[in-house]
Structure 1
Amino acid sequence: MKLSKKNAVVVRKALSGWVDEGTLSAEQQQHLLQNMQVQPFDWRRLARYAFLAALASLVIAITSLFTDSWLLEQLSELFSLDAPVRMAIAAVLAVLVYIWALRRRLRYPDKRYSNEAILFIAILLTACALWQLGVWLDNGSGRVSVLLVLAAVLYGVIGWFSRSGLVWWFALLSLGNAFGAETGYLSGWGAYWLGMSYPIRFIAFGTVLIAAALLLKPPLAQRGLERVSLAMGLLYLFIALWILSIFGNYGDLDSWYSVHQIELLHWSLLFGIVAAAAIWLGLKNDDGMLRGFGLTFLGINLYTRFFEFFWDSMPKAIFFIVLGISLWALGHYAENIWRLGRQSQDATDD
């Protein structure tokens, strides 16, 4: 078995502890140690960062196309084709890349990062095909939610059957955008739909998504999609709560400018209560993701209120002194928690 240096230390301590307790004999310990190989370099982490850098380079390359006159000329020839032809080209390329990525996953399941990178390219090609479909069928209504629903269905089916959390994430992202676009269309692109601003709509959307992730936990977990679904629901919910705590249920900026921040305090309290509930549920169920969301957005809530209430009323020198001290205290507290965790793990291993 090949292990990183960090994991090898943990395994050695565990084996030594089991020998001391009499669970393992010294001969069994030596036999297990002989079958353990320590990797001098973490190639898996390098692979992850390399593929992330490659995808970032791809995005930069695409944006750089628009500054290259020769490439623009070539692209203009491509876009001189009819929209159905452009859609068909992108769709065929997307299908071929999906087939390549999924076959590669079956043959090389351990090459996780390169497989996900190829899937990401297929996702982009799918988006291009849907974009050209929209150009082809555009009737001037501005109802883009239909295309977004189609994207959610396509990504959802592919993500479900391929058990890909990345594609499933794009399905839920498309579904959220479709919800926002459709409610905007139904309201005539006004500020309110059924009396709700966009943040309140997405609080409801995030809550429904979280409830669906919990109710459908067994089938989602079987496909490896349960955590992604729950994380997306939490992300929609907490970002909407954060925006609501800043702007309230005001769709008109002129009305919002005349509002005192204290009048929005009840939204901040709601934000804090939901974050505290996530922390409590995370601690109760030993769910690191829930704890992480709760702690992160509770901190965002507190620092947002600090900037709102004291940016204008407090001298800037004192403001940044207090901010720096609070961040120092937060870092010191986090460091102590980390040290206690390490000591507890070491004591358990010993």
Structure 2
Amino acid sequence: MKIDREQSEFLDETISRWEEEQLLDPATADKLRNSYESKAFDWRRLAQIAFWVAMACGVIGLGALLVDDDILDYFRVPYETPDAVIAALSAIAAGWIFQFAYRRKKKEPQKIFSNEAVTFTAVMLTANAIAYLGKTLGGSSQHFSLLILLSVVVYGILAMVFHSKLIWIFTLLSIGAWFGTETGYLSRGNWYFMGMNYPLRFVFFGLLIVLAGKWMDRGKRMKEFANVTYIAGMAYLFISLWLLSVFGNFGSLESWYNVPQ
């Protein structure tokens, strides 16, 4: 039995005292000591947490790069690179890195976190390529949810080809972003879509993702993504329920503020 270090030290002291007081014979004391062991520090868990934090920082950094016009202008001044060229270069680089990650994963499967880091780099370049493709085709269009839908398709195909749960997570995040932006577009800027604000919409969306995870668990082809899909659906569902419990079905903060609490 594995126990915490503090518990192990407490048991060691207790057994030693009982042995000194002759409440236990040496054989029984040794038997008790051998019945448990102290847990070692979980470096793997720490590395996993650090990896997810690094990925979150990467997503935030890329988002800041794509949104902040000042940063984009800073890069455009010395190079004046067209958006189409940036999209093409990002797509080519992403394809090469995906291929490299696939070969590396086959050759060195034990290097889990470094392999996922390489895959994450390719995912970010893919997002960059899609974003600049949207700017090339028409940055003034308000129907940018179509680009997010394109990312859903691309990430979904890549996840199934590479059997990568990491890419599948980005697929689920992208489909959530698409659902929110598409319903916002269809409502013509109105806070309500079919009488529902955003939290209420995502309650039903989360339920659909949960059901999809259950359905995938019954099959064979998508079974490897079933658990991730189920967890993502539960996250969508409970976060939406929490927001709904706070704000109700109000469309804006102004209308919510005007209601006596």
Please give the alpha-carbon distance, in whole angstroms, between the structure 2 residues aligned to 1:248 and 1:57: 31
- 2:120 is matched with 120
Query: What code does the residue aligned with 2:146 have?
Result: V
Please give the alpha-carbon distance, in whole angstroms, between the structure 2 residues aligned to 1:60 and 1:215: 32
Change in Cα spacing, 1:56 to 1:143, as seen in structure 2 (3 Å) is closer
- 1:91 is matched with 91
Q: How does 1:1-350 map to 2 (within 5 A)?
A: 44-45=44-45, 47-48=47-48, 51=51, 76-78=77-79, 80-138=80-138, 140-219=140-219, 223-261=223-261
Query: What code does the residue aligned with 1:99 have?
Result: Q
Change in Cα spacing, 1:49 to 1:193, as seen in structure 2 (3 Å) is closer
Query: How far did residue 43 of structure 1 move?
Result: 5.7
Query: What code does the residue aligned with 1:211 have?
Result: L
Change in Cα spacing, 1:172 to 1:257, as seen in structure 2 (3 Å) is same
Query: What code does the residue aligned with 1:150 have?
Result: L
Q: Note the alpha carbon deviations across 1:80-135, whole angstroms, 9 max, x for none.
A: 12211110000001101111111111111111111111111111100100110010
Q: Note the alpha carbon deviations across 1:300-334, whole angstroms, 9 max, x for none.
A: xxxxxxxxxxxxxxxxxxxxxxxxxxxxxxxxxxx
Change in Cα spacing, 1:220 to 1:186, as seen in structure 2 (3 Å) is farther
Change in Cα spacing, 1:230 to 1:41, as seen in structure 2 (3 Å) is closer
Q: Note the alpha carbon deviations across 1:266-292, whole angstroms, 9 max, x for none.
A: xxxxxxxxxxxxxxxxxxxxxxxxxxx
Query: How far did residue 190 of structure 1 move?
Result: 1.2
Please give the alpha-carbon distance, in whole angstroms, between the structure 2 residues aligned to 1:234 and 1:242: 12
Query: What code does the residue aligned with 1:234 have?
Result: M
Change in Cα spacing, 1:53 to 1:255, as seen in structure 2 (3 Å) is closer
Query: How far did residue 191 of structure 1 move?
Result: 0.7
Contact in 2 for aligned 1:220/1:226 (Cα 8 Å): no
Contact in 2 for aligned 1:213/1:220 (Cα 8 Å): no
Contact in 2 for aligned 1:160/1:223 (Cα 8 Å): no
Query: How far did residue 257 of structure 1 move?
Result: 1.4
Please give the alpha-carbon distance, in whole angstroms, between the structure 1 residues aligned to 2:42 and 2:252: 52
Please give the alpha-carbon distance, in whole angstroms, between the structure 2 residues aligned to 1:46 and 1:241: 30
Change in Cα spacing, 1:60 to 1:159, as seen in structure 2 (3 Å) is closer
Change in Cα spacing, 1:43 to 1:77, as seen in structure 2 (3 Å) is same
Q: Note the alpha carbon deviations across 1:59-80, whole angstroms, 9 max, x for none.
A: 798779xxxxxx98655334x1
Query: What code does the residue aligned with 1:77 have?
Result: P
Please give the alpha-carbon distance, in whole angstroms, between the structure 2 residues aligned to 1:5 and 1:101: 38
Please give the alpha-carbon distance, in whole angstroms, between the structure 1 residues aligned to 2:248 and 2:126: 36
Contact in 2 for aligned 1:90/1:128 (Cα 8 Å): yes
- In structure 1, the gaps of 5 or more residues are 7-39, 65-70, 262-350
Please give the alpha-carbon distance, in whole angstroms, between the structure 2 residues aligned to 1:113 and 1:227: 20
Provide TM-score, normalisation by structure 2: 0.74
Please give the alpha-carbon distance, in whole angstroms, between the structure 1 residues aligned to 2:222 and 2:147: 29
CA RMSD of the aligned region, Å? 3.1
- 2:16 is matched with none
- 2:29 is matched with none
Please give the alpha-carbon distance, in whole angstroms, between the structure 2 residues aligned to 1:54 and 1:184: 31
Change in Cα spacing, 1:211 to 1:234, as seen in structure 2 (3 Å) is same
Query: How far did residue 239 of structure 1 move?
Result: 0.7
Query: How far did residue 162 of structure 1 move?
Result: 1.3
Q: Note the alpha carbon deviations across 1:128-150, whole angstroms, 9 max, x for none.
A: 00110010111623111100000
SS in 2 for 1:170: helix
Change in Cα spacing, 1:258 to 1:220, as seen in structure 2 (3 Å) is farther
Change in Cα spacing, 1:82 to 1:141, as seen in structure 2 (3 Å) is same
Aligned length: 220
- In structure 2, the gaps of 5 or more residues are 5-39, 66-71
Identity of aligned residues (%): 41
Query: What code does the residue aligned with 1:103 have?
Result: R
